[in-house]
Structure 1
Amino acid sequence: MKTDILALSVGDPAGVGPEIIAKAWGQLRETGPAFMAVGDLQSLAAAGGGVKVKAVTGPVEAAKVFADALPVLDTPLQSPVIAGQPSSAHAAQIIRCIETGAGLALSGAVAGLVTAPIAKAPLYEAGFKFPGHTEFLAELTAPAPYAGARGPVMMLTAADLRATLVTIHQAVGTVPAALTIDRIVAAGLVTAQALKTDFGIAQPRLAVAALNPHAGEGGALGREEIETIIPAVAALRARGVDARGPSPADSLFHPDARKTYDGVLCMYHDQALIPVKMLDFWGGVNVTLGLPIVRTSPDHGTGFDIAGRGLARPDSLIAALRLAAEIAARRAAS
């Protein structure tokens, strides 16, 4: 049976995930959006500061109990959790929770998937082959694209800024060689489609960031703009996308500039992440575009340094839950 509830994978149980999930439930229990945690019930109970948790059999039961208790699709751990101390012994359970949440979303049993943070190193130690959540979810949901646009494309949102990435988690020195016309065009098409279907913008305007200072200064500061980005923008326009640029990144993110576009396509990780976190460090959201499921996550990591100390803020997770519910509603109405 389909419900409007979201699945929320707990992420690394030794991080701040269990704590911010409990705090988010405390703030959303009366207003929603409703969610069902997928993870170890005991870890959530221990980190929740007295929050009432309840094991449930699935999303239908979870929706019924959400106002009274944090519903948990219990996926027990096989070894104890020590807050702030990640362990590869937890890797199998972390992966299983993500797989379960993705499966529920693919089947339509839940409206979408929100993922709490994972730490990559312990997963790599256990043989995990993906750079992170984004790439793993793309594999789990393949081969079906969403609305003809195939992801994954990472979008970061904060305030009125929506920034997507052509390259994601790779060293800065490798970015120029990784940028191709096809790769930029693919990311731009997915972004434009998502701005329409997921964000309700009928005629989205897409700004495209340059790679080099001053957009390469006519080739004096690099030729990536001339040889790769300008042709990609032209190709996007030929495909019907209102794409503009490349524009120097140092002038793309101030308030007046943000009024001129609905989304900005960035060439590398920090080009997007720095302005997003400057605008709203606590409330930024990561959205994966181009998947057949709705997926969001908080725009922060596992916070092992503060895990178990009661200091973690749930702002970004709450924003991720609300955005996932909004996107799911728009898809359902389309």
Structure 2
Amino acid sequence: MRTASERRGLSLLALASALAACSGAPARPAGATYRPPPPLALVAIVDPSPGQAAAELRQLAAVIQSAAAPAQTLVVSLLATAPPAHTHVVRGGESLSSIAGAEGVSLAALQAANPQLGPLAQRDWNRVYPGDRVTVPDGAPDRPAIVTRAPAGPPPPALVAAPARPANATTFQEAQYRHALAAAAETNRQRISAWQSAAALAVAPWQAQVLRQLDELGRGGAAAPADPADGRQVTAAVEAAANTLAGLPGRRVLLLLAGGPAATAAAPAAGTSLAHVHLVVANAPAGTPLTAAATAAGATVTVLDPALTELQLPAVVGG
């Protein structure tokens, strides 16, 4: 059932088309389908120590509270202090099973460390391709604390095409054209607004679930590390996050909350690509050294002011 505004807009469009036909103006193509912004693909690296985890996870929760959209993905990794992981680049004929056997790790551990190769990215675990970068955990399993994907949401709406401007238009024809153009714009605004409302409703249960998971993790799910992380562990965490993001569609953001002073010695490992990745550093000591190295690896970098992190983070990450 069309609204009165939509019926009025379509009537005006029909009139404008008729006027354009009479004036010899070329016909315009039919309206397109609305293309929502790319979904957020976010990997966050969090300090697991009780003194830091709760605060960092609250900051992350503020991002999810302000930015939840269809097909959005989230991976939360706790900074490990076990021997750092390394990367295996898939060659022709290999599978995750064969890689696990060659590397001496279980298939389950390999899958857990590489969510980008499974359902999170709408892929089949049994299919890997030459060039895929696989994170191989060394020592303790490198399992992300949270791996989740928002539902797809409603299909985007069809949009009304702008009317063709009549050639050699009279004053009356020009006025009718402008009226029809405004009506088309208003119809499209209403359709997009309605879709956005439906999309928000579709992802609301997922958003609430993620907020609960973050709260539970902050209230005791994160285990205290035996030793503080060093630069090697931070470097390995950034490399693993880059591997994950490379397999996820959308607007890729790597959020580094963890690391403390150790992050000053971190840098993307040789061969790590951060192309098309926005690195957001919420760790003041790491800002300057990581900016140069990550930029050289292809990333855009934002370093947050420590005093303003909670205020800045939702806007910077949520876009």
Compute the TM-score of the two structures, normalised by the length of structure 2.
Answer: 0.33
Q: Which has the higher contact order (CA 8 A, sep 6+)?
A: 2
Higher helix share: 2
Compute the TM-score of the two structures, normalised by the length of structure 1.
Answer: 0.32
